[in-house]
Amino acid sequence: MKFGGSSLASASRIKNAARIVQRFSKGNKIVVVASALDDVTDKLLELGETAQRGGSPKAKSLLSKLQYLHSKIGRDVSARGTDKQLVTRISGLNLELERTVEGISHLRELTPRSRDYLLSFGERLSTLTVATALRNSGLKARAFTGAEAGITTDENYGEAKPLTEVSYHQIHQFLEPSLSRKEIPVVTGFIAATVEGSITTLGRGGSDYTASLLGVALEADEIWIWTDVDGLMTADPRIVKDARVLSNVSFGEALELSYFGAKMMHPRALQPAVQKRIPVRIKNSSKPSKEGTLVSVNEGDSSGRVVRAISIIPSVGIVTVSGTGMMGAPGVAAKVFQTLGSNNINVMMISQGSSEAIISCVVSRKDVEKSVRALQLALLGQGYVEKVAAERDACIIAVVGGGMKGTPGVAARIFGAVAQRKINVRMVAQGSSEYNVSFIVPEARGPDAVRAIHQEFNLERPPGKS
Ligand code: ADP
Ligand code: ASP
Ligand code: MG
């Protein structure tokens, strides 16, 4: 069971999470994965960036707010405020956090590696608190960091990749003894470590990924993701007011949705679970009796629905490589992707005009400048590429549904609905799985495009009634 930050945003939310674990622990062995409390990861990032500019009063104030938050919630979760061990351990981590921030301000340097170390405090602090809450509700619980639970990654700080085989082996070895003593391991989501033991993170939203890795390693019956909405929905309910919960989603659809869902789930989170066909349930921690969404091998409840859900990925940009000399020149595309890949830039979408004179790649907005520089260095002046250009104002809209495969006219309806709202589509790609059509619009028009498509396909109505 993984609890997201929103499900751990206060002492009472944490106690609620403990009650949920207790309720389902009868007859089940459970491993808990905890995210950082609330939006603590965002706050730690801000703290790191502020500290990097020197030890300012702002950095001090951000730091003491975080320290206060964890101490306060720790005290409130403790039984009658007397859980000395928790209070002491939180103070210890608070002090270590302070030293880390001092180091960053002193050197005025925040490297990917030190950033991961800084971010790890969120989950390390939350896990201790959640384990205490579980003990106070009568369960045996023990806190583990990702590394203590056996998750080992490569050294790609910020977006580290688990070395799965060794991790699976170690997870089994490190957590089974606890489980057989009827203890509930409480593992930090999001963070792990390299072979040498330095802390890494799995990318934003990475606690879902942690849960999936642990579930596979321990051959869990199911992986449950507790969050603040009733399940996976037809669209982000903050964008579409009448978005509906999808009760059954197939693995294929969920992969597309999570990849393009950005905010809802870590893009690679489901991969391990899908490979081993372990069902994933997404449930609301405020309404634990509700069924939520079941992601499984089953086809889903589309009842002929072609489009199931629409996601939006904000904050991306388009990098375009063009030149008349590119026509018919073999290997240009390979060079483009190789250049981006070797600079650790993730390409989220690609399109190439059939004239071959232009190749466009969608990358995260933070990578736009780096991509342009890398491509200019690698490609200009060799006779075929004349220009590398960038467009920073973009978001991806992904329309997903298993029923889209082989159904003609879906794209026409999608783009018709968007055109009616006078939204300019900059670039289009259809996944070869045919489970998704994705396209790019200016960021400010993204939510409107989502609403237009939601309405066009009547997604607010239950299946069978469209
Ligand atoms: P957690 O703290 O549990 O990890 P997140 O904020 O990462 O929670 O993800 C839950 C949020 O994702 C929801 O509150 C919702 O606003 C947003 N969201 C975006 N797309 C969807 C979707 N298709 N279905 C449900 N929620 C979505
Ligand atoms: N705390 C991390 C984040 O906010 C990981 C997670 O919540 O899944 O990205
Ligand atoms: Mg999340």
Distances in whole angstroms, Cα of residue 13 to Cα of each of 223, 224, 290: 20, 17, 17
The conformation of residue 83, written as its DSSP 8-state character, comes to -
Identify the CA nearest to 2 among candidates 17, 23, 13.
17
% of the chain residues with pLDDT over 90:
74
| Lowest-confidence segment of 206-210, 254-258, 410-414, 441-445 by average pLDDT | 254-258
* pLDDT greater than 60 at residue 262: no
The band of 466, judged by pLDDT with boundaries at 50, 70 and 90, is very low
Q: Note the pLDDT tens digit of each residue in 405-414.
A: 777 888 899 9
Crossing angle of helices 446-456 and 410-420, in 10° steps, is: 130
Helix, strand, coil share of the chain (percent; to 5): 45, 20, 35
Q: Which residue CA neighbors atom 19 of ligand 1 most closely? A: 236
* pLDDT greater than 50 at residue 370: yes
The band of 39, judged by pLDDT with boundaries at 50, 70 and 90, is very high
Q: Which residue CA neighbors atom 11 of ligand 1 most closely? A: 264
The count of other CB atoms within 10 Å of the CB of residue 330 is: 6
Return the H-helix or E-strand segment holding 462. Answer: none
Residue in 7, 123, 207 to alter for ligand 2 test, most ligand atoms within 8 A of Cβ: 207
The pLDDT score that the predictor gives to residue 94 is 98
Please compute the mean of the pLDDT values over residues 372-384 and round it to a whole number: 92
Which residues place a Cβ less than 5 A from the ion ligand 3?
A: 4, 205
Please compute the mean of the pLDDT values over residues 38-52 and round it to a whole number: 97
Cα torsion 400, 401, 402, 403 to 10°: value is: -140
Between strands 387-400 and 347-352, the pairing is unpaired
* pLDDT greater than 90 at residue 465: no
The pLDDT score that the predictor gives to residue 255 is 79
Residue 264 vs residue 127, higher pLDDT: 127
The count of other CB atoms within 10 Å of the CB of residue 169 is: 14
* pLDDT greater than 70 at residue 301: no
End-to-end CA, the chain: 35
Between strands 347-352 and 358-364, the pairing is antiparallel
The pLDDT score that the predictor gives to residue 132 is 95
| Lowest-confidence segment of 169-178, 345-354, 449-458 by average pLDDT | 345-354
Please, which residues bridge with residue 320 across strands? 360, 389
The pLDDT score that the predictor gives to residue 402 is 77
Q: Note the pLDDT tens digit of each residue in 61-99.
A: 999 999 999 999 999 998 765 578 899 999 999 999 999
Please compute the mean of the pLDDT values over residues 255-282 and round it to a whole number: 81
The pLDDT score that the predictor gives to residue 463 is 77
CB distance 207 to ligand 2 below 6 Å: yes
The pLDDT score that the predictor gives to residue 20 is 98
Contacts of 161 (CB under 8 A, 6+ apart): 153, 154
The pLDDT score that the predictor gives to residue 302 is 63
The pLDDT score that the predictor gives to residue 80 is 64
The pLDDT score that the predictor gives to residue 432 is 56
* pLDDT greater than 80 at residue 356: no
Q: Which amino acid is at 463?
A: P
Q: Note the pLDDT tens digit of each residue in 193-251.
A: 999 999 999 999 999 999 999 999 999 999 999 999 999 999 999 999 999 999 998 88
Q: Note the pLDDT tens digit of each residue in 92-121.
A: 999 999 999 999 999 999 999 999 999 999
- Nearest ligand, measured from the Cα of 262: 1
The Å distance, Cα 263 to ligand 1 centre, comes to 6
b vs e for 422-434, b when ≥16 Cβ sit within 10 Å of the residue's Cβ? Answer: ebebbbebbbeeb
CB distance 212 to ligand 2 below 6 Å: no
The Å distance, Cα 22 to ligand 1 centre, comes to 24
Token reading at 362: 């969608």
The pLDDT score that the predictor gives to residue 382 is 85
Mean pLDDT of the chain: 92
CB distance 189 to ligand 2 below 6 Å: yes
Which atom of ligand 2 lies nearest, measured to the CA of 204? 9
The pLDDT score that the predictor gives to residue 81 is 55
**Ligand 1 pocket residues where CB is under 6 Å:** 4-7, 35, 205, 227-229, 232-233, 235-238, 261, 263-264, 309
